[in-house]
C-alpha cells in the first residue's frame, strides 16, 4: 500500500526551512510532504540537531570534505528515513486505546478511505477475537508518508575552491543537491520547480535510480511543478527523450500560492486543469512511448511498461468542498495544502513571534512583492521581522543585507564575481549609479524603492527553523522571512494537526469570519490586480510586443471568466446562494476588466 492510497492531500515545500523536517513530524501518520534540500548549511544544522535528538553519532561534514554539499544532503535524508522508519515500527506496536498515536493514525484518514472503514468496523466489533484479527490487519496497513524533496531549478550557482578556481559542472548547487538525493536510501520523488534547467535535466541520466529496474520498478521518481499544459508537454518530452519518466505533474496556481509566484499570460487555474483533464491520456501515452523506446534501447527492459501519470494541483485551496471538487471534477490524484499548515506547529517550523503575527494578521498583510533577488514576484508578509529589518536598514542609510551564503548571487553589472541584488554591496553601488542620473525626486524615489525592495532570502527563509529548535543562528542574522500565499488570510488561529486535517476532509470548519470567495474567484482577482500593474508599467511607453502581450492577457482572462460561468452548474457541493454569489462576482469582474484600457501602441522597439 502507498501513502497516496490513504490521504488525498500532501504538504508542498515551503521556503527553505518551514518544511525541512516535516516528514519527521508527520510522515508516520501516512502524510506526504516535501523538503527543500538546496541549502546545505541548514540541512547540516538539522542533521546535527536530529542526530543528537535520536542518540545517533554525529560526525560533521565540513566544507573541507570532498563533495560536502551532496554528502550533507544524503546524510540528512538517510537520517530522516531511519527516524521515520523507526517511528512507524513503534507506532505499529502501540495499543488501540484513546490518546495512542496508532488511533490518531486511523482517525486522521478521510471517511471514504477503505482503511478508515476497516478501522471503524474494528471499533464497532464487540467480539474480542474478531477485534484482534482486524487490529492485526490494520497494523499491516500502516505506511509512512513520502519523504519527497524539492530543488528550485533556477538556484544553480556555480561553486569555487578556496583558491577561487571554478569547480567542475557537477558541483553547482542544483546538481550537487540532485546527487545528494540520488545517493540517498529514499524511495521517493524529486520535485523540480521554477522552470527548465538544461544541465540539471541532463544530469539526471547519471543515476540508475531514476530508470526502471528489471522488474519495471523505480527507486526514485521525477515530479514537475508546472503552471500550464504547454510547459508540462515541452519539459516532459525533453526528459522522456533522455529516458526520464515524469511520474507526476503538479499544477500550481500562478499567483494564488506561497513563495515565488509565476504568473501565466492570463491563463487561470480552472481552464488549465480542464486542459490537463482532456489531454492527460494522450500526454501519458506520448511520454510513455518515448521512454519505453529509450529503455528498450538501453537494455533496461525487454518489453514496454505500462506507466501511469499522476496529475495534482495546489495553490489557494481553502475548503473541503473546493478540495473535493478539484479532485473529482478534474480527476486529480492529490491536492497540495501549503500555507494553512504554517499555522500548525506540529507540522512546520514557524517561530512563536512570527506565528503570533500571522494569527493577528489581516488580508492586507499578505501581498505580492519583488523582494526576491531572482526578479520573480514573491508572496510576502508585511509584518515579518525581515520586512521590518529591511525598512530599518534603509532608515539608517545602510540598505541591503550582508551576503554570506550567496545562493542567489547572480548579478555581474558591477563585479566580475556575481553578487546578490539584495546585498549591501550591490544596493550601495546601484544607488550611487542612480544618484548620478539626477532624476526628479518622485522618479528617484520610485527607482530607489525598486532597488531596496530586494531582501535576503537565504538567511530569512531558514531562520524560523533554527529559532524554533533553539539553534544558534548563522552570522547573528535573526530576521525571519515568511512567504505565505494570500489564502492564509482566512486562517487566523493556531491549529493542531488533527484540526487541520479534519478541515481538509470536511469534518470541521476552521476558517475565520473573513468573507472568502471561491478559490477560482480569489485567483481571478489576483490576476486582475496583476494585469492592472502590468498596464501601469506600460503607461508611459509601450512597444508592439507589450501591446500584444496585454491584449492576449486580457483575452485569456475573459475566456477564463466565460469558462467559470459555464462551470458553475457542475459545482454540486455548494449551495444555490453560494453559486449565485459566484456568478455575480464573475459578472462584476468581467465588466471591470472590459473597461480596463490598454495604452495606445507607441512603437519604442519590438
* Interatomic CA distance for residues 413 and 77, integer angstroms: 38
Give residue 24's pLDDT: 98
The mean pLDDT of the chain is: 94
Q: Among 84-88, 168-172, 258-262, name the most confident range.
A: 84-88
Could you tell me what percent of the chain has a pLDDT over 90?
A: 89
Res. 542 pLDDT band, cuts 50 70 90: confident
Give CA angle at 25 (24, 27), nearest 5°. Answer: 70
The model scores a pTM over 0.85: yes
Render pLDDT for 37-48 as a digit per residue (tens, 0 to 9).
Answer: 999 999 999 999
Phi and psi, residue 418, nearest 5°: -55, 140
Render pLDDT for 421-452 as a digit per residue (tens, 0 to 9).
Answer: 999 999 999 999 999 999 999 999 999 999 99
DSSP 330: T
Domain boundaries, the chain: 1-186, 207-251+266-314, 385-481, 517-606
Answer for the pair 506, 321: CB distance below 8 angstroms, yes or no. yes
The CB-side HSE value for 217 (13 A sphere, CA atoms) comes to 4
Poorest-confidence range of 328-337, 451-460, 465-474, 587-596? 465-474
Segment 522-530 mean pLDDT: 97
| All cell numbers assigned to 3 | 501513502
**Taking phi first (over 0 means left), then psi (-120 to 50 degrees means alpha), and beta for anything else, what does residue 76 get?**
alpha
Amino acid at each position: 500500500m502507498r501513502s497516496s492510497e490513504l490521504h488525498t492531500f500532501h504538504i508542498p515545500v515551503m521556503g527553505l526551512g518551514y518544511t525541512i523536517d516535516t516528514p519527521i513530524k508527520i510522515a508516520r501518520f501516512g502524510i506526504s510532504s516535501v523538503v527543500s534540500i538546496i541549502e546545505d548549511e541548514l540541512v547540516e544544522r538539522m542533521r546535527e540537531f536530529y542526530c543528537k535528538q535520536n542518540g545517533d553519532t554525529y560526525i560533521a561534514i565540513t566544507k573541507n570534505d570532498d563533495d560536502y554539499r551532496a554528502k550533507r544532503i544524503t546524510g540528512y535524508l538517510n537520517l530522516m528515513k531511519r527516524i521515520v522508519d523507526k517511528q512507524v515500527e513503534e507506532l505499529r506496536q502501540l495499543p488501540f486505546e484513546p490518546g495512542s498515536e496508532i488511533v490518531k493514525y486511523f482517525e486522521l484518514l478521510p471517511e471514504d478511505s477503505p482503511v478508515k472503514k476497516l478501522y471503524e468496523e474494528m471499533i464497532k466489533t464487540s467480539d474480542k477475537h474478531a477485534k484482534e484479527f482486524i487490529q492485526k490487519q490494520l497494523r499491516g496497513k500502516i505506511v509512512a508518508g513520502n519523504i519527497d524533496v524539492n530543488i528550485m531549478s533556477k538556484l544553480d550557482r556555480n561553486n569555487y575552491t578556496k583558491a577561487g578556481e571554478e569547480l567542475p559542472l557537477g558541483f553547482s548547487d542544483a546538481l550537487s543537491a540532485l546527487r545528494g538525493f540520488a545517493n540517498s536510501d529514499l524511495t521517493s520523488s524529486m520535485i523540480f520547480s521554477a522552470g527548465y534547467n538544461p544541465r540539471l535535466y541532463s544530469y539526471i541520466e547519471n543515476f540508475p535510480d531514476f530508470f526502471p529496474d528489471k522488474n519495471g520498478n523505480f527507486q526514485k521518481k521525477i515530479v514537475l511543478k508546472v503552471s500550464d499544459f504547454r510547459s508540462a508537454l515541452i519539459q516532459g518530452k525533453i526528459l522522456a527523450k533522455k529516458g526520464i519518466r515524469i511520474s507526476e505533474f503538479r499544477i500550481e496556481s500562478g499567483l494564488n500560492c506561497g513563495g515565488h509566484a509565476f504568473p501565466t499570460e492570463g491563463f487561470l487555474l480552472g481552464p488549465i486543469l480542464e486542459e490537463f483533464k482532456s489531454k492527460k491520456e494522450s500526454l501519458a501515452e506520448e511520454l510513455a512511448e518515448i521512454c519505453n523506446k529509450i529503455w528498450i534501447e538501453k537494455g533496461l527492459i525487454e518489453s514496454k511498461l505500462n506507466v501511469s501519470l499522476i496529475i495534482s494541483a495546489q495553490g489557494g485551496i481553502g475548503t473541503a468542498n473546493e478540495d473535493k471538487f478539484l479532485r473529482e471534477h478534474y480527476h486529480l490524484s492529490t491536492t497540495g495544502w501549503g500555507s494553512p499548515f504554517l499555522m500548525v506547529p506540529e507540522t512546520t517550523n514557524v517561530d512563536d513571534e512570527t506565528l503570533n503575527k500571522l494569527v493577528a494578521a489581516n488580508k492586507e498583510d499578505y501581498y505580492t512583492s519583488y523582494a526576491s533577488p531572482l526578479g520573480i514576484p514573491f508572496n510576502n508578509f508585511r509584518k515579518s521581522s525581515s520586512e521590518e529589518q529591511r525598512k530599518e536598514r534603509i532608515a539608517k542609510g545602510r540598505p541591503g543585507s550582508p551576503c554570506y551564503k550567496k545562493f542567489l548571487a547572480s548579478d555581474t553589472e558591477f563585479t566580475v564575481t556575481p553578487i546578490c541584488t539584495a546585498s549591501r554591496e550591490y544596493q550601495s553601488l546601484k544607488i550611487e549609479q542612480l544618484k548620478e542620473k539626477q532624476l526628479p525626486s518622485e522618479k528617484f524615489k520610485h527607482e530607489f524603492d525598486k532597488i531596496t525592495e530586494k531582501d535576503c532570502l537565504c538567511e530569512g527563509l531558514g531562520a524560523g527553523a533554527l529559532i524554533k529548535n533553539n539553534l544558534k543562528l548563522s552570522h547573528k542574522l535573526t530576521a525571519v522571512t515568511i512567504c505565505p500565499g494570500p489564502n492564509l488570510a482566512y486562517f487566523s488561529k493556531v491549529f493542531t494537526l488533527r484540526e487541520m486535517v479534519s478541515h481538509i476532509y470536511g469534518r470541521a470548519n476552521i476558517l475565520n469570519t473573513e468573507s472568502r470567495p471561491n478559490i477560482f474567484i480569489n485567483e481571478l482577482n489576483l490576476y486582475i490586480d496583476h494585469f492592472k500593474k502590468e498596464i501601469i508599467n506600460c503607461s508611459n511607453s509601450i512597444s508592439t510586443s507589450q501591446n500584444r502581450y496585454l491584449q492576449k492577457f486580457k483575452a485569456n482572462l475573459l475566456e477564463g471568466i466565460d469558462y467559470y460561468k459555464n462551470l458553475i452548474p457542475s459545482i454540486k457541493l455548494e449551495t444555490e446562494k453560494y453559486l449565485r454569489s459566484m456568478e455575480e462576482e464573475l459578472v462584476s469582474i468581467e465588466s471591470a476588466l472590459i473597461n480596463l484600457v490598454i495604452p495606445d501602441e507607441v512603437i519604442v522597439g519590438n
